[in-house]
Each structure stands twice: as C-alpha cells, then as structure tokens.
Structure 1
C-alpha cells in the first residue's frame, strides 16, 4: 500500500510515517522504481503499536529500543517489564512535581487574597 493509505489505516499523518521511518521505528520500507514507498500491514501494525507505547508515556527513543528488542527475538513480558516500570516511575515523578507546583500556586493565591500578592 502507499504511504497515504498506511497513514490513514494507522490513524497518523503521512509526515508521521516518514518521521517514524527516519527514526527507526519502522524497518526499511521497500520502494517502487518510481520511489514511492510500499508499506505492508506489518508496517501499519508497528505504527499503531508505537503510538500506543507513546500514549503510555514511552519516549520515541524508548519505543525504538523496545521494538528493536522485540525484533531481536527473545523479548518477553518478564524481560521487558523494566521499560514499563521506568515509565511509571517517570509519571510518578511528574505527578509529585505537579503536586508541589499546585501547592506553591495555591499558597501564592492565598497570599494574594490576603493582600500580599507575589505578582506585583
């Protein structure tokens, strides 16, 4: 299938498909003599998986590493669990930072209500 069809089926833009190809998310894509890419259902599935991993909080580099581990064979839930643990730890750290920031903003708001605004 052409790139537009693959992008449509994966729910991404054509530019995303091209970007994923450059970044190594996709394995090498065959080309027609005209230069047009020829993508397969496997490419669409891989794009969809990459998007799901990113939605879970994986960085693009982490997605590429996880896919390469899978491609090498032998990847199991047990051997790859650390990747999800890393994502969860990063999310927990962000939540903690947001809680601190919210607390500081609420404190500033209370001070402002009391006539001691930090903004002026």
Structure 2
C-alpha cells in the first residue's frame, strides 16, 4: 500500500504515518526503486491501535513500548496491567487538577457576581 492509502484507511494524515515510522510505531516501510514507501496491510491496524492507546491516555513512548512487547510475544494481561494503572493514575491526577481549577474559578466568578471581580484590575 502507498502511504496515502495507509493514511486514508487509518484516518490519519500522511505526516502522522511518516512520524509513526520515524518513532518506531511502524516498522520501516520497504521502498520501491522510485523511492515511494510500500506498507503492508497490517500498518493500518497498527496505526489504529496506536491511536486507540493514545486516546486512552498512553504517551507515545508507552505506545511504542506496548507495541514492541506485543511484537515480541511478551505482552500478557498480567505483564501489561501496570501500563493501564499508570494511565489511570495520570487521568486521576488530571481530574484532581481540573477540579481544583474549577473551584478556584468558581470562587472568582462568585466574587464577580457580588461586585468584587478579581479580573477587573484597576476598575471599581
């Protein structure tokens, strides 16, 4: 498959396919004598898996590690559970940060409603 076909079927840009190849998400594509990349059908599914893992909260490095563990046959639910636990911990931390930011913003909004807006610097 040509790079444009892979990108289209995977729902990503051509630049994303190139980036994933550079970072090791995809194995290096074979090249035709003309220099065009030729990807296997499995490249589409691999990109979809990488995107699904990123959508869950995996970092790109974690995606690469997880895919390499899968490639070597070392990935099992028991051996990979720690990756998911790490993602859940990061999500929980983000939620806590957002809740703090919401409480702070809500307090400022209540001040504004009472005529004491902290954002109206220099005005009364």
Give the TM bin, normalised by the shorter chain.
over 0.9
Deviation at 1:61?
1.1
Deviation at 1:14?
0.7
Deviation by residue 1:51-95 (Cα, 9 ceiling, x = unmatched): 110111111111111111112222101100111111011001000
Q: Which residue of 2 aligns with 1:4?
A: 4
Q: Which residue of 1 aligns with 2:63?
A: 63
Task: Answer with 1 or 2: which has the greater Rg.
Answer: 2
Q: Which residue of 2 aligns with 1:45?
A: 45
- TM-score normalised to structure 1 length: 0.96
- TM-score normalised to structure 2 length: 0.93
* Alignment partner of 1:28 is 2:28: yes
Aligned residues between the structures: 120
The CA RMSD measured in Å over matched residues stands at 0.9
The runs of 5 or more residues in structure 1 that have no matched partner are: none
* Alignment partner of 1:97 is 2:110: no
Moved over 4 A (4+): none
Alignment partners' CA distance in 2, 1:105 and 1:29: 49
Q: Which residue of 2 aligns with 1:14?
A: 14
The runs of 5 or more residues in structure 2 that have no matched partner are: none
Match runs of 1:65-84 below 5 Å: 65-84=65-84
3-state SS, counterpart of residue 51 of structure 1: helix
Alignment partners' CA distance in 2, 1:86 and 1:74: 19
